Structure 1
Amino acid sequence: MIEIYTDGAASGNPGPGGYGVILRSGTHYKELSGGFRLTTNNRMELLAVIVGLKALKSPGQQVMIFSDSKYVVDSVEKGWVFGWVKKSFQGKKNKDLWIQYLALHKLHQVKFTWIKGHNEHPENERCDRLAVAASQNKSAMGIDAFFEAERNSTSLL
């Protein structure tokens, strides 16, 4: 069983954001993080899951993802995202990320566990620190191109 702990952060919503991920399996441990100049908290929560799954080296893994995001956990565990696919994500945000997630979901046996955020859970607290630090590191920020393009096209209407 591979454990993936995730968290996302955004200062302002939208605003600068980041994600933090911990992967753990037996004695193996890895931390990942990244930041974006303009994004949302929900995007970073979902991107953290995607980054964690992309880091797995081989398909068919049993994966337990721990997240404090009800948005992410409930969307998958309650099956909402699978209904969104049937409706081509009409009226739903973060379609680009959900499509990436679903492609990775098919490769593994994925389960989610919701954990209460900011509740002294060591891995969740560490992921939060990674996400916040990434959201503040202006020299290493990426561009959330899909979000910015979608936001710009909506503001023109």
Structure 2
Amino acid sequence: MKKVNIYSDGACSGNPGPGGYGVILEYNGKEAELSGGEENTTNNRMELMGVIIGLEALKQPCEVTVTTDSKYVTDAFNKGWLVSWQKKNWKKSDGKPVLNLELWQRLLKAASIHNVTFIHVLGHNGHHYNERCDKLAVRERDKFSS
């Protein structure tokens, strides 16, 4: 299996408000940048979209390391939230519906063909790829700002 690194970040001005995501795929020393945004969204949605777009860009099953500053994304996988939510028919521990359900389902589908590891890094803390992804996300977000 190919080993691919996906670095991702989301940005939002207001919550909700204009937002963007930035993704860098790295394989065998080569990189590809992906980015996009929405006029009215949330930070969590953009964090999810970055990871989704990165995984959906892969053309075959890979061993993937996803690095993001989003605890929302990493904890959902690493702390078993997704498993629990699914067992409870997409309800959180407080009984309320899981937000962004369609994106979580899309992310699970995109991740299902890969062996994915999720790593959390602190945002705005000098991590080279996280900083680059942030710049991509902010650039996309700012396309919607007045």
Q: Identify whether the pair has TM-score above 0.5, normalized to the shorter chain.
A: yes
Task: Give the distance between the partners of 1:62 and 1:122, measured in 2 at CA.
Answer: 22
Residue aligning to 1:150: none
4+ residue segments displaced more than 6 Å: none
1:14-53 to 2 correspondences below 5 Å: 14-53=16-55
Are 2:122 and 1:122 equivalent residues in the alignment? no
Task: Give the distance between the partners of 2:89 and 2:141, measured in 1 at CA.
Answer: 31
Percent of aligned positions with the same letter in both sequences?
52
Residue aligning to 1:95: 101
Segments of structure 1 that go 5 or more residues without pairing to the other structure are: 140-157
Task: Give the distance between the partners of 2:29 and 2:65, measured in 1 at CA.
Answer: 16
Q: Provide the aligned length of Structure 1 versus Structure 2.
A: 138
* CA deviation vs aligned residue, 1:17-38 (integer Å, no higher than 9, x gap): 0000000011221000001000
Segments of structure 2 that go 5 or more residues without pairing to the other structure are: 92-96
Equivalent of residue 113 in structure 1, options 89, 99, 119? 119
After TM superposition, give the deviation of residue 74 of structure 1 in Å.
0.5
Residue aligning to 1:133: 139
Task: Give the distance between the partners of 2:101 and 2:89, measured in 1 at CA.
Answer: 9
More helix by share: 1
Task: Give the distance between the partners of 2:48 and 2:34, measured in 1 at CA.
Answer: 14
Read off the aligned partner of 1:41 and give its amino acid letter: N
* CA deviation vs aligned residue, 1:114-157 (integer Å, no higher than 9, x gap): 10100011100000000011011139xxxxxxxxxxxxxxxxxx
Task: Give the distance between the partners of 1:16 and 1:42, measured in 2 at CA.
Answer: 12
Task: Give the distance between the partners of 2:89 and 2:105, measured in 1 at CA.
Answer: 10
Task: Give the distance between the partners of 2:144 and 2:41, measured in 1 at CA.
Answer: 14
Structure 1 counterpart SS, 2:54: helix
Residue aligning to 1:78: 79
Read off the aligned partner of 2:144 and give its amino acid letter: K
Read off the aligned partner of 2:79 and give its amino acid letter: K
Structure 1 counterpart SS, 2:52: helix
Tell me the C-alpha RMSD between the 2 structures.
1.1
